[in-house]
Chains A and B, each alone.
Chain A
Amino acid sequence: MTTTKTVQPPKPPAGGGGLGNAAKTVLRSRWIGPVGLFLGAIAPILIATPYAMNVMTSALIFVMLAVGLNIVVGQCGLLDLGYAAFFAVGAYTSGILATRLHWPLLATIPAVIVVTVLAGIVVGGPTLRLRSDYLAIVTLGFGEIIRVTANNLSITGGPEGIYGIPSLSVAGVDLSNSVVFYYVVLVIVAAAVLGANRLIRSRLGRAWRFIREDEDAAEAMGVHTYRVKMAAYIAGAVWGGLAGVLFGAQLSAISPASFTFLQSALVLMAVVLGGMGSTPGVVIGALFVTMLPEALRGLSDYRYFAFGALLIIVMVLRPQGLWPARTREPARTARRSATFDGEVRIR
Chain B
Amino acid sequence: MSALLDVADLHLAFGGVKAVDGLSFQVHEAEIVSVIGPNGAGKTSAFNCITGFYRATSGAITIAGTDVTRLRPSAVAARGVSRTFQNVRLFGDLPVLDNVRAGTHLWLRQNVFDALLHTPRYRRTEQVATDEAHRWLDFVGLRADRTGPARALPYGEQRRVEIARALARHPKLLLLDEPAAGLNHNEKLELLELIRRIRDLGIAIVLIEHDMGLVMEVSQRVVVLNFGREIADGSPEAVRRDPAVIEAYLGSDDEPAAETGDHEPATATGDGERPTETRDGERVAETGDGEPSGEIDREAGADA
Interface residues on B, range: 35 or more
Asked whether B2 is an interface residue with its Cβ less than 8 Å from the other chain, the reply is no
Inter-chain contacts of A216 with B (CB < 8 A): 53, 73, 85, 89
Q: By the criterion CB–CB under 8 Å, are B138 and A8 in contact?
A: yes
Within 8 A of A (CB), among B101-129: 101-106, 108, 110, 112, 114-116, 118, 122, 125-127, 129
Residue in contact with B74 in the complex, picked from A1, A195, A201, A223, CB distance below 8 Å: A223
Inter-chain contacts of A2 with B (CB < 8 A): 202
Q: By the criterion CB–CB under 8 Å, are B202 and A11 in contact?
A: no
Inter-chain contacts of B78 with A (CB < 8 A): 222
Asked whether A225 is an interface residue with its Cβ less than 8 Å from the other chain, the reply is yes
Asked whether A145 is an interface residue with its Cβ less than 8 Å from the other chain, the reply is no
Asked whether A306 is an interface residue with its Cβ less than 8 Å from the other chain, the reply is no
Q: By the criterion CB–CB under 8 Å, are A223 and B102 in contact?
A: yes
Q: By the criterion CB–CB under 8 Å, are A204 and B112 in contact?
A: yes
Q: By the criterion CB–CB under 8 Å, are A199 and B112 in contact?
A: yes
Within 8 A of B (CB), among A174-233: 195, 198-199, 201-207, 209-210, 213-214, 216-225
Chain B residue at smallest Cβ distance from A4: B201
Distance in angstroms between the alpha carbons of A199 and B118 in the assembled complex: 10
Q: By the criterion CB–CB under 8 Å, are B201 and A222 in contact?
A: no
Q: By the criterion CB–CB under 8 Å, are A340 and B139 in contact?
A: no
Among B72, B82, B101, B105, find the residue whose CB has the most chain A CB atoms closer than 10 A: B105
Distance in angstroms between the alpha carbons of A330 and B128 in the assembled complex: 12
Distance in angstroms between the alpha carbons of A114 and B73 in the assembled complex: 31
Q: A198-B118, A202-B115, A336-B127 are in contact. Are A329 and B139 (CB under 8 A)?
A: no
Binds A, one of B91-99, B210-218, B243-251, B276-284: B91-99
Chain A residue at smallest Cβ distance from B77: A222
Within 8 A of B (CB), among A5-24: 5, 7-11, 14
Asked whether B165 is an interface residue with its Cβ less than 8 Å from the other chain, the reply is yes
Q: By the criterion CB–CB under 8 Å, are A206 and B130 in contact?
A: no
Chain B residue at smallest Cβ distance from A226: B72
Q: By the criterion CB–CB under 8 Å, are A219 and B73 in contact?
A: yes
Asked whether A346 is an interface residue with its Cβ less than 8 Å from the other chain, the reply is yes
Q: By the criterion CB–CB under 8 Å, are A336 and B131 in contact?
A: yes
Inter-chain contacts of A9 with B (CB < 8 A): 138
Q: By the criterion CB–CB under 8 Å, are A346 and B85 in contact?
A: no
Asked whether B223 is an interface residue with its Cβ less than 8 Å from the other chain, the reply is no
Interface residues on A, range: 35 or more
Distance in angstroms between the alpha carbons of A169 and B97 in the assembled complex: 47
Q: A202-B115, A222-B169, A346-B201 are in contact. Are A213 and B91 (CB under 8 A)?
A: yes
Inter-chain contacts of A210 with B (CB < 8 A): 91, 94, 102, 105
Among A218, A220, A332, find the residue whose CB has the most chain B CB atoms closer than 10 A: A220
Q: By the criterion CB–CB under 8 Å, are A224 and B74 in contact?
A: yes
Asked whether A154 is an interface residue with its Cβ less than 8 Å from the other chain, the reply is no
Residue in contact with B51 in the complex, picked from A7, A220, A224, CB distance below 8 Å: A220
Q: By the criterion CB–CB under 8 Å, are A202 and B114 in contact?
A: yes
Inter-chain contacts of B105 with A (CB < 8 A): 203, 206-207, 210, 221-223
Q: By the criterion CB–CB under 8 Å, are A213 and B92 in contact?
A: yes
Residue in contact with B135 in the complex, picked from A204, A205, A213, A340, CB distance below 8 Å: A340
Inter-chain contacts of B186 with A (CB < 8 A): none
Q: By the criterion CB–CB under 8 Å, are A332 and B122 in contact?
A: no
Asked whether B28 is an interface residue with its Cβ less than 8 Å from the other chain, the reply is no
Q: By the criterion CB–CB under 8 Å, are B115 and A199 in contact?
A: yes
Distance in angstroms between the alpha carbons of A95 and B103 in the assembled complex: 45
Q: A199-B115, A214-B91, A340-B131 are in contact. Are A219 and B74 (CB under 8 A)?
A: yes
Report A78 CB to chain B, min CB distance, Å.
16
Q: By the criterion CB–CB under 8 Å, are B165 and A213 in contact?
A: no
Q: A1-B29, A205-B115, A340-B135 are in contact. Are A221 and B98 (CB under 8 A)?
A: no
Asked whether B200 is an interface residue with its Cβ less than 8 Å from the other chain, the reply is yes
Asked whether B190 is an interface residue with its Cβ less than 8 Å from the other chain, the reply is no
Report B125 CB to chain A, min CB distance, Å.
7
* Residues of B that sit less than 8 Å from A by CB: 29, 51-53, 72-75, 77-78, 82-83, 85, 89-95, 97-98, 101-106, 108, 110, 112, 114-116, 118, 122, 125-127, 129-131, 134-135, 138-139, 141, 145-147, 165-166, 169-170, 172, 197, 200-203
12 contacts across the A-B interface (CB closer than 8 A)? A14-B147, A199-B116, A205-B115, A213-B91, A219-B53, A219-B77, A221-B102, A222-B106, A224-B75, A329-B97, A336-B131, A344-B139
